[in-house]
Every structure is written in structure tokens, then in C-alpha cells.
């Protein structure tokens, strides 16, 4: 049973380009979460999605960032017009439902470097 799969693992973008990070949840999981870890910092919640719905995007920057989780295919975190401050590790996690007490499983992360 494959875990949460993220790709690419490492991505380098020039300032002004777009970055797309993909996340395939564990089999049977319909809830996806995105977190950002800036260098030397903890993990900050960005967005919580279910299939075709954004449930909580309170941690998403107001501009340039968007996320989706379509009916078919992986969840995508999209960063437009990247800046150096976007350089971070982006972690995706999934769970089978919203119930507290369910374990949330993390992917290995996507490391974005903006040059």
C-alpha cells in the first residue's frame, strides 16, 4: 500500500516562473492537507481539501498561491510568479476522513528552490 506520494521531490525555479507541486494521497484517503516548512522553522498549515472542495484555506497566502484536488488525479499546489521567499519544503498529508483521532500521513515533501 503506497504512502502519500509527492513530486517532484526537488524543484528549482527562477523568479517569476510557476511552480506546480503534486500530491497523490494514500489509497482510500479523500482528505489532503498542504503544509510549508521554511528554513529553520516549523510547519505552517496552508490548506485543507477534499475531492473538488477547499475546506480551509486560512493558511494560504492571498496572492499567487492556489490549490486544487480534482475528482480524478492528484492534488496540485500551484505557486505563480515565484519569489525567493517561496523557497521552502512543501509537505502534503492525507487522511481517510475529517475525524479527529484519525492519523494523518505525510509525504516526503517537495523542496522548492527559487533562484
Interface residues with other proteins (CB under 8 A)?
A: 33, 35, 41-45, 48, 56, 91, 93, 98, 100-101, 103-109
- C-alpha neighbours within 13 Å on the C-beta side of residue 82: 21
Provide the minimum distance between the beta carbon of 38 and other proteins in the complex, in angstroms, as a whole number.
11
Provide the minimum distance between the beta carbon of 30 and other proteins in the complex, in angstroms, as a whole number.
15
Which candidate, 115, 26, 108, places its Cα nearest to that of 74?
26
Q: Which is nearer to other proteins, 1 or 103 (CB)?
A: 103
Q: Which is nearer to other proteins, 85 or 101 (CB)?
A: 101
Please state, in angstroms and rounded to a whole number, the distance separating the CA atoms of residues 49 and 43: 17
Instruction: Decide if 93 contacts 27 (C-beta within 8 A).
Output: no
Amino acid at each position: 500500500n503506497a504512502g502519500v506520494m509527492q513530486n517532484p521531490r526537488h524543484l528549482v525555479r527562477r523568479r517569476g516562473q510557476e511552480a506546480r507541486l503534486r500530491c497523490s494521497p494514500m489509497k482510500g484517503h479523500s482528505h489532503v492537507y498542504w503544509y510549508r516548512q521554511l528554513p529553520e522553522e516549523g510547519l505552517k498549515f496552508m490548506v485543507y481539501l477534499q475531492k473538488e472542495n477547499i475546506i480551509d484555506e486560512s493558511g494560504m497566502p492571498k496572492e499567487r498561491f492556489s490549490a486544487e484536488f480534482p475528482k480524478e488525479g492528484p492534488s496540485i499546489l500551484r505557486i505563480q510568479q515565484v519569489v525567493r521567499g517561496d523557497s521552502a519544503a512543501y509537505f502534503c498529508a492525507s487522511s481517510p476522513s475529517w475525524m479527529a483521532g484519525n492519523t494523518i500521513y505525510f509525504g516526503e515533501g517537495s523542496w522548492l528552490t527559487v533562484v
